[in-house]
Structure 1
Amino acid sequence: MSDDEQQTRKDFADAVNMTASQLRHWLDTDESKQVGQKPSGGGESTGHESGRHIVRILEQKQSDHTDADYAHMRKVVGYVARHSEQRPDGDVHDTPWRWSLMNWGHDPEKH
């Protein structure tokens, strides 16, 4: 395993603070399905699709991670970092901002 892959896994583990089970449960909620950018014509949002990929990554053995998985891990790390900086004022518990982050495996209310 390369140093880049090790760093990617570490950064991904820091960004994703939900378990596969928590994320799978979240992705089944109406709140999860109503946020995020959807392709023209409707369908699944980018974040919701990402969440399903994150669940697969979390459930895999590390030795089974593909180049596409590592690319997705880097995408997740970047999204969580950028979106976290846009935190709105006040209570964020029931906000699309938090729900979007949760679709990407990060619950900003968990420490």
Structure 2
Amino acid sequence: MPAVTHLLNEPGGRGPIVAVSDYVRAWPDLISRWVPGGSWRSLGTDGFGRSDTREALRRFFEVDAESVAMAVMAELARCGRIAPERAAAAAQELGLDSEAPFSLTH
């Protein structure tokens, strides 16, 4: 049994999984087949030719701390663990732009 499967089968190891990379989403997706459960969302910097600060690029591709928190809220809402309205309110509280190209709030 792969270590990731074993660890996520431990008590408290289940829940929405949000895997994040400063590289393309395909990178964290490599382990998704060994992750138990049905809730998986990967975030990554799918794109090229962009030049800016790391902070700005992380915000653009939604892999910064606020966007990761929003991804977790979105997955919790999708799984029915929190009300969708709570996830929508979190986007505003976190200062996220719902019209951004890669927005999780779409």
TM-score (norm 2): 0.33
TM-score (norm 1): 0.32
Greater strand percent: which structure?
A: 2
Q: Higher Cα Rg: structure 1 or 2?
A: 2
Give 1 or 2: higher helix fraction.
1
Higher relative contact order (CA 8 A, sep 6+): 1
